Amino acid sequence: MSPAGPRAPACAFVIFGVTGDLTQRKLLPALYRLHLKGSLHPDSAIIGHARSDLTVEDLRKRLREAVEREVPEFDEDA
């Protein structure tokens, strides 16, 4: 059991508009904080869809920067 309570079973989060403002400001920071608390199952996945023409590397960089900006307690190792 995690410090936050029971861990959820493994699941997939599907985010439509993964490059959008809502995802960057709210959804990913919330998922990141759940991960920090140990509330997400390690086999869970985040699947994103967007109309933007980005490479996987560019998307990861953009989303990482968004989480770093929105989450003051960002931990490189997490």
Across 40-57, average pLDDT: 93
**How far is Cα 37 from Cα 22, in angstroms, rounded to an integer?**
22
Contacts of 36 (CB under 8 A, 6+ apart): 73, 75, 78
Percent of the chain with pLDDT over 70: 94
Per-residue model confidence (pLDDT) at position 20: 95
pTM equals 0.83
Percent of the chain with pLDDT over 90: 79
Task: Name the residue with higher pLDDT: 49 or 4.
Answer: 49
pLDDT band at 77 (very low <50, low <70, confident <90, very high): confident
